[in-house]
């Protein structure tokens, strides 16, 4: 027997209750769509350059090269500010892993102290694009049809007509600075704020989610560390009295 989802007779609910049910369903869908996604986990923890297992749960991690970081991000130039580590968790059967960014530390090999992951908000403030101030001879502005953006979905860019995708995530980036001929312009402050929002959205999208995971989950961690150590780094994951050290080269 076929039931119409919006048919109040099959739901057995008054019209008001039926509408409320639909609204709650749509709200839940929106919240799920906005939840942090991270990256797609690889087949196993052993697929990463460093991995370990404890009590049936496994964790893997790889330090991204500059080339890999440029390819992974469409808007944020993370190579300017930090090292990016991809981390994946594989919970034990019928178990879960509670992930918190505070449990991670990146340190140089041979040193006891390290740094915690940086938030997307902090990094976006450092990486935002700041347009140059206009000179005295001509008033330069940001054309209203140009933008710095990061979004999900397969929508086509109304200006260039280009649509790109990478690993199931779609990005759009368009920046323009010029002399406005009619139409609206953005102030340098507004353009910087737009750039910061786009960078922050992308960093949050790819970051390791802070959740209780029952299934494999992966994502990036951002560490404000200059890449100068020849000895490499160690990613330390601490949970209570347990500590896992993953060697990254």
> Which of 1.10.260, 2.60.40, 3.40.1580, 1.10.730 is the CATH number of 45-123+206-248?
2.60.40
C-alpha triplet 159, 164, 167: angle, nearest 5° = 155
Between residues 164 and 52, the one the model is more confident about: 52
Query: What's the pLDDT score for residue 183?
Result: 52
Query: What's the pLDDT score for residue 149?
Result: 56
Residue-range domain boundaries for the chain: 1-34, 45-123+206-248, 130-204
pLDDT tens digit sequence for 216-226 = 999 999 999 87
pLDDT tens digit sequence for 85-122 = 999 999 999 999 999 999 999 999 988 889 999 999 99
Question: Rounded mean pLDDT of 123-146?
Answer: 62
| CA distances in angstroms from 118 to 104, 126, 217, listed in the order given | 11, 11, 19
Choose among 44, 57, 47, 83: nearest CA to 249.
83
Separation of alpha carbons 129 and 6, rounded Å: 47
């Amino acid at each position: 027997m076929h039931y119409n989802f919006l048919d109040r007779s099959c739901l057995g609910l008054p019209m008001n209750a039926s509408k409320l049910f639909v609204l709650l369903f749509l709200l839940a869908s929106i919240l799920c769509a906005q939840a942090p996604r991270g990256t797609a986990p690889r087949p196993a923890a052993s697929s990463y350059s460093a991995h370990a297992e404890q009590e049936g749960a496994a964790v893997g991690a790889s330090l991204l090269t500059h080339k890999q970081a440029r390819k992974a991000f469409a808007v944020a130039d993370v190579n300017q500010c930090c090292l990016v580590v991809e981390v994946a968790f594989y919970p034990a059967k019928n178990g879960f892993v509670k992930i918190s960014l505070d449990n991670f530390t990146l340190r140089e090999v041979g040193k006891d102290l390290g740094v915690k992951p940086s938030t997307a908000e902090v990094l976006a403030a450092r990486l935002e694009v700041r347009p140059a101030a206009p000179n005295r001879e001509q008033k330069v502005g940001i054309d209203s049809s140009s933008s710095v953006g990061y979004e999900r979905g397969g929508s086509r860019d109304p200006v260039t007509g280009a649509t790109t995708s990478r690993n199931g995530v779609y990005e759009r980036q368009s920046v323009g600075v010029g002399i406005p001929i009619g139409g609206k312009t953005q102030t340098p402050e507004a353009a910087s704020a737009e750039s910061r929002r786009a960078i922050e959205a992308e960093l949050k999208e790819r970051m390791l989610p802070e959740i209780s995971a029952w299934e494999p989950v992966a994502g990036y961690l951002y560490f404000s560390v200059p890449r100068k150590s020849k000895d490499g780094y160690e990613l330390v994951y601490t949970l209570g009295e347990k500590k896992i050290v993953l060697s990254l080269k």
